[in-house]
Chains A and B, each alone.
Chain A
């Protein structure tokens, strides 16, 4: 089985290199890279799937001649869930990318992006299965660096390089924490290959658990994009081509969560304050992420911030589960972890769907500014349906999958509120409030996205008659939309698959979980039933209206302008004006800069209003930090003033200082 996985990896790598070598024949490279990616993903998908539906974990280990290194990999349920996500998305996104990149086959070599794309896929998979610290770190960095080169695909465009650099620096600094974490983990494992997880497990003293957890949160949180480590994310995703953003937010950011969970499985104890830390980060990310997101009129920035929000929801779920473990509340544990994991799966689906969709929009209309779009639903109906599914799902509304996971998180919070002590249950209320408000604001953001971009009348020429888009670009989106529906309808089997993972993470044997599993499965089956009912009733009503209208006059007319004759598409609400009440209401916490040239005089020439919302963490934390460091360093530059005898004075002073220090340390006499 695991050989199959490795074969898949091999195919990915080989096709990537081959594509690179075929760089001259750009089209061919495109085909090779894409087929390789799809084939490799299919091969790798299978073993992961089999493990997840109840196959027993497999592991293998080969020697690796680097310090502390060994090529140890394992495919247990936790890993295979993420391998599944990685390969599933890689395959679908590759199809989309093949169509997307084909446009550029003249001006640039497509071997390069494919090389990095497949390399990134390999890196991600290895991260998920690695069982050795060095192997993990190497895979992790390969993944990050490869994705950097994908992010800077449009390096000739202004701002892209800066965005890419922000990303590279952020991920590199995050990784530094992981170095320390893995080394500290391996400290007490005596053997030479002391960074094998097998060797680590059980040797970690409880005293160092807290430090390790903090390091993990910072290191992995940077990749996942928790506040306040998310700062690279709203820069990188818009700069990157849409398919790259899709795979990054769909799969790569999830691997941050994976790392966190993996560390939890290795740590000897789970403290309660960790849970609170996760919950707090989740609450902040959830609310602030969507709040900043809805203020963006750039489609992809909006999606990027919504990623921050959803990662926050996931973090809340996991935090609740952790709280359940540390307070010994089985129901809470089960519901929390299930909710977190399920939402993770869901987010992987609908976020990559939406990002790919943004790619289609950009390709069709040439802009990703919502205020320029409109009326796409009439012009690309099937695509619009898929996107609508994505929007409903990400808003967390029934009858789609987004609701199911949020529902579980709610349930966990309510359970905690009932079962836990006063202080703790007050915290649960915080969670309930956060999930609710982020849900409501999510509704604002995504009604704006869909309503403005797809409904109403086009706001400019390109949107009025979009360029035709190949089926390669649309097909994966349709599949993902189908997946969203499928998860909503078949959530129970999925939950059964996730239970082993919960037991692995919660340090809790499967039997105990199965006893309480009813607390999750019964409501979920009810929800599923309800969702089906919702669909059925809607269809019934539709039939009813059909019957009513049968044989009556059904006519078309212009939209009623409330008596105003000749309304134009420019008069419609734009995305900015649509979210303006919300932005105004939350102005105190948003850094929204507005520039207004009000119409003046009797015959005003032109009036304009520009509003832009900056990132709080970036402006308030990181920029000042970097600026001050540079300030200090520039002040120190006079050291190298170029006057040689002063240089020699340095020598003299050094040796004399050393001697005096040394003589002073000598014992008298």
Chain B
């Protein structure tokens, strides 16, 4: 079990790094999709008791949403806005990867310094660092990329990171809440997609760095 979990986690880490490195929108959307699928499997593996039906359904929903629906929405938005490539980012790709490395090291340190207080859970030591790294790299994506789409991808990655923590730590999260959360995220992505569509129609670009007419 644990081996599989750590495999997934490491995989997630790698996707994060690649996301930081890539400039093609299609690639980053695809990467987020893969990451989502991987995370869909996660709850089945970290479960401490036997696998309940509820857990399976949940995993399935996550898998479909994160792995299939979101990417679809995003790529549709990309098509309508017909942008293929990231605009010149604020922080270069290689630099981003380096920063990503720093992020990983940092979160590894934090994970080591502040162990989870839940001794009884079979949680691998990699989990907390991965989650942190994912969250931070998601934030970093939003901050450092200029295309609206990439920012949404960043938001998804951030969401994924939080999800990792949640799946591992708060398993008693009632079903309804989890569903609500997912629904919210879904609608968020949906609305953002619409917004991106409107942006591209109004401005003929989705470079958020040029949306600075509102300021003091």
With contact pairs A645-B144, A645-B151 given, residues A652 and B139 touching in the complex (Cβ less than 8 Å): yes
Tell me if A648 is interfacial: C-beta within 8 Å of chain B.
yes
Q: Which residues of B contact A663 (CB under 8 A)?
A: 113-114
- A644 pairs with B211, CB closer than 8 A: yes
For residue B140, give the distance in angstroms from its CB to the closest CB of chain A.
8
Contact with A along B185-216 (1 / 0, CB 8 A): 00000000000000000000000110111111
Per the bound structure, the CA–CA distance linking A642 and B214 in Å amounts to: 6
Contact with B along A322-361 (1 / 0, CB 8 A): 0000000000000000000000000000000000000000
Per the bound structure, the CA–CA distance linking A120 and B102 in Å amounts to: 68
Tell me the A128-160 residues at the B interface (CB within 8 Å).
Answer: none
- A641 pairs with B90, CB closer than 8 A: no
- B143 pairs with A649, CB closer than 8 A: yes
Contact with B along A621-663 (1 / 0, CB 8 A): 0000000000000000100111111101101100000000001
Residue total for B at the interface (Cβ-Cβ under 8 A): 18
Chain A's closest residue to B211 (CB) is A644
- A640 pairs with B216, CB closer than 8 A: yes
- Which residue in A641, A651, A652 is a CB contact (below 8 Å) of B212? A641
Q: Which residues of B contact A643 (CB under 8 A)?
A: 209, 212
For residue B134, give the distance in angstroms from its CB to the closest CB of chain A.
14
Q: Which residues of A contact B151 (CB under 8 A)?
A: 644-645
Contact with A along B120-138 (1 / 0, CB 8 A): 0000000000000000000
For residue B173, give the distance in angstroms from its CB to the closest CB of chain A.
22
Per the bound structure, the CA–CA distance linking A652 and B155 in Å amounts to: 13
Q: Which residues of B contact A646 (CB under 8 A)?
A: 143
Per the bound structure, the CA–CA distance linking A637 and B209 in Å amounts to: 19
- B208 pairs with A645, CB closer than 8 A: yes
Q: How many A-B residue pairs have CB under 8 A?
A: 34
- A642 pairs with B212, CB closer than 8 A: yes
- B208 pairs with A644, CB closer than 8 A: yes
Q: Which residues of A contact B213 (CB under 8 A)?
A: 642
Per the bound structure, the CA–CA distance linking A637 and B90 in Å amounts to: 23
Contact with A along B141-166 (1 / 0, CB 8 A): 01111100001000000000000000
Chain B's closest residue to A639 (CB) is B216
Q: Which residues of A contact B212 (CB under 8 A)?
A: 641-643
With contact pairs A652-B139, A652-B143, A663-B114 given, residues A645 and B216 touching in the complex (Cβ less than 8 Å): no
- A642 pairs with B139, CB closer than 8 A: no
- Which residue in A637, A642, A645 is a CB contact (below 8 Å) of B143? A645
Q: Which residues of A contact B146 (CB under 8 A)?
A: 645
Give the interface centre of B142, B146, B214 by most chain A CB atoms within 10 Å: B142
- B142 pairs with A642, CB closer than 8 A: no
- B215 pairs with A642, CB closer than 8 A: yes
Q: Which residues of A contact B216 (CB under 8 A)?
A: 637, 640
- B144 pairs with A642, CB closer than 8 A: no
Per the bound structure, the CA–CA distance linking A637 and B216 in Å amounts to: 6
Per the bound structure, the CA–CA distance linking A640 and B213 in Å amounts to: 11
Q: Which residues of B contact A644 (CB under 8 A)?
A: 151, 208, 211
Q: Which residues of B contact A642 (CB under 8 A)?
A: 211-215
- B211 pairs with A645, CB closer than 8 A: no
Q: Which residues of A contact B142 (CB under 8 A)?
A: 645, 648
Chain A residues packing against B (C-beta within 8 Å): 637, 640-646, 648-649, 651-652, 663
Pairs A–B under 8 Å by Cβ, sample size 20: A641-B212, A641-B215, A642-B213, A642-B214, A642-B215, A643-B212, A644-B208, A644-B211, A645-B142, A645-B143, A645-B144, A645-B145, A645-B146, A645-B209, A648-B139, A648-B142, A648-B143, A649-B143, A651-B139, A652-B143
- Besides A642-B214, A645-B90, A648-B143, 4 other A-B contacts (C-beta < 8 A): A640-B216, A642-B212, A645-B143, A663-B114
